[in-house]
Amino acid sequence: MITQNEINIARHCISYALEHGADAVRVSVNDSTIDSCTLLNGVMDKVTHAADRSIYLYIFADKRYGTFSTNRLEVSDLEKFIVQSITMVKMLEEDACRTLPAPERTAKDAITGNELGLYDPRYEESDSDSRLARAKSMSMFAEASGEGYEVISEECEYSESCDDNFTADSQGFEGRHTETCFSVFAEMTIQDKEGSKYSGFWWESSFDKDGVDLKGCPKKALERAARQIGPKKRRSGRYKMVVDTTVATKLIAPLLTALNAGSIQQKMSFLDGTLGTKVFPEGMTLMDMARTPKKNGSRMFDTEGVATKDAPIIENGVVKQYFVNTYMAAKMGIEPTVEDISRPCLMPFVKDKALLSDEKALSLKDILEISGNGILVTGFNGGNSNPVTGDFSFGIEGFAFSKGKITHPVREMLITGNLLELWNNLTAVGSDARASVRWQIGTLAFENVSFSA
Partner 1 sequence: MNIAEYYHNTFGVSQQQLDTLIATALAKGGDYADLYFEYTTVFNLLLKDGVVSSGGFHTDCGVGIRVLKGERTGYAYSENLAMGEMLKAAQAASMIAQTDGAPRSYNSSPTSKGDYYRMDTSWRDVSADAFLPFLQDLEKAIFAKDSRVVKVIARLSNSVADIMMYNSLGEITYDTRPLGSVSVTAVFQQNGKTENKNAARSFRTGAELIGPALAQEIADEITTGIDQRFEAVRPKGGQMSVVMGAGASGILLHEAMGHAFEADFNRKGQSIFADKMGTQVCPKGVNVVDDATITGNRGACNYDDEGVSGQKTYMVQDGVLTSFLHDRISAAWYGVESTGNGRRESFRYNPIPRMRATYMESGDADPQDIIASVKEGIYVDEFSNGQVKIGEGDFTFFVKSGYLIENGRLTSPVKDINIIGNGPAALADIQAVGNDLKINNGTWTCGKEQSVAVSCGMPTVLISNLTVGGE
Range 50-79, binding partner 1 (CB under 8 A): 50-53, 64-72
CB environment 235-263: b (16+ within 10 A), e (fewer): eeeebbbbbbbbbbbbbbebbbbbbbbbb
Query: Count H helices, E strands: the chain?
Result: 9, 17
Query: Smaller CB distance to partner 1: residue 301 or 394?
Result: 394
- Per CB under 8 A, the list member of 15, 49, 230, 402 interacting with partner 1 is 49
Residues 93-132 that bind partner 1 (CB under 8 A): 93-95, 98, 128
48 binds partner 1 (CB under 8 A): yes
Question: What is the phi/psi pair of residue 8, to 5°?
Answer: -65, -35
Residues 335-374 that bind partner 1 (CB under 8 A): none
Minimum distance, C-beta of residue 372 to partner 1, in the bound complex (Å): 23
Written as one letter, the residue type at 181 is C
Q: Which of 132, 139, 181, 141 is nearest to 156 (CA)?
A: 139
Q: Please state, in angstroms and rounded to a whole number, the distance separating the CA atoms of residues 167 and 176.
A: 6
Query: Smaller CB distance to partner 1: residue 165 or 298?
Result: 165
Rg (CA), the chain: 25
Q: Which of 217, 221, 115, 248 is nearest to 176 (CA)?
A: 115
Residues 186-205 that bind partner 1 (CB under 8 A): 189, 196-199
8 binds partner 1 (CB under 8 A): no
Minimum distance, C-beta of residue 452 to partner 1, in the bound complex (Å): 3
Query: Smaller CB distance to partner 1: residue 189 or 292?
Result: 189
215 binds partner 1 (CB under 8 A): no
Neighbours of 121 (CB within 10 A): 9
- Per CB under 8 A, the list member of 44, 102, 111, 133 interacting with partner 1 is 44
- Contact (Cβ atoms closer than 8 angstroms) between residue 360 and residue 366: no
25 Cα distance to chain centroid: 28
> Which residue stretch of 3-11, 47-55, 169-177, 367-375 sits at the interface with partner 1 (rule: CB under 8 A)?
47-55
94, with CB counted inside 10 A (0-12, 13-18, 19+), is exposed
Query: End-to-end distance of the chain based on CA atoms, in angstroms?
Result: 51
Minimum distance, C-beta of residue 294 to partner 1, in the bound complex (Å): 30
Minimum distance, C-beta of residue 237 to partner 1, in the bound complex (Å): 10
Q: Please state, in angstroms and rounded to a whole number, the distance separating the CA atoms of residues 293 and 166.
A: 19
Q: Please state, in angstroms and rounded to a whole number, the distance separating the CA atoms of residues 250 and 412.
A: 18
**42 Ramachandran zone, left/alpha/beta (phi>0; psi -120 to 50):** left
Query: Smaller CB distance to partner 1: residue 44 or 102?
Result: 44
Query: Smaller CB distance to partner 1: residue 32 or 114?
Result: 32
Written as one letter, the residue type at 280 is F
Beta bridge partners of 410: 232, 398
Minimum distance, C-beta of residue 369 to partner 1, in the bound complex (Å): 29
- Per CB under 8 A, the list member of 5, 8, 266, 402 interacting with partner 1 is 266
| Helix, strand, coil in percent for the chain, rounding step 5 | 25, 40, 40
Tell me which DSSP letter residue 269 carries: -
Residues 370-389 that bind partner 1 (CB under 8 A): 381-389
7 binds partner 1 (CB under 8 A): no
Neighbours of 381 (CB within 10 A): 12
Interface map 390-429 toward partner 1 (x if CB under 8 A) = -xxxxx-x-------------xxxxxx-------------
- Per CB under 8 A, the list member of 112, 145, 236, 277 interacting with partner 1 is 236
Query: Smaller CB distance to partner 1: residue 262 or 442?
Result: 262
- Per CB under 8 A, the list member of 85, 325, 342, 431 interacting with partner 1 is 85
- Per CB under 8 A, the list member of 3, 5, 46, 111 interacting with partner 1 is 46
Q: Please state, in angstroms and rounded to a whole number, the distance separating the CA atoms of residues 208 and 225.
A: 28
Residues 275-334 that bind partner 1 (CB under 8 A): 331
- Per CB under 8 A, the list member of 26, 28, 29, 81 interacting with partner 1 is 81
Query: Smaller CB distance to partner 1: residue 340 or 369?
Result: 340
> Which residue stretch of 16-24, 152-160, 249-257, 288-296 sits at the interface with partner 1 (rule: CB under 8 A)?
152-160
167 binds partner 1 (CB under 8 A): no
∠372-373-378 over CA atoms, to 5°? Answer: 105
257 binds partner 1 (CB under 8 A): no
Q: Please state, in angstroms and rounded to a whole number, the distance separating the CA atoms of residues 328 and 333.
A: 8
Residues binding partner 1: number (CB under 8 A): 72
Query: Smaller CB distance to partner 1: residue 248 or 286?
Result: 248
Minimum distance, C-beta of residue 231 to partner 1, in the bound complex (Å): 9
> Which residue stretch of 11-19, 149-157, 212-220, 441-449 sits at the interface with partner 1 (rule: CB under 8 A)?
149-157
Minimum distance, C-beta of residue 287 to partner 1, in the bound complex (Å): 29
* Residue 129, helix vs strand vs coil: helix
Beta bridge partners of 61: 64
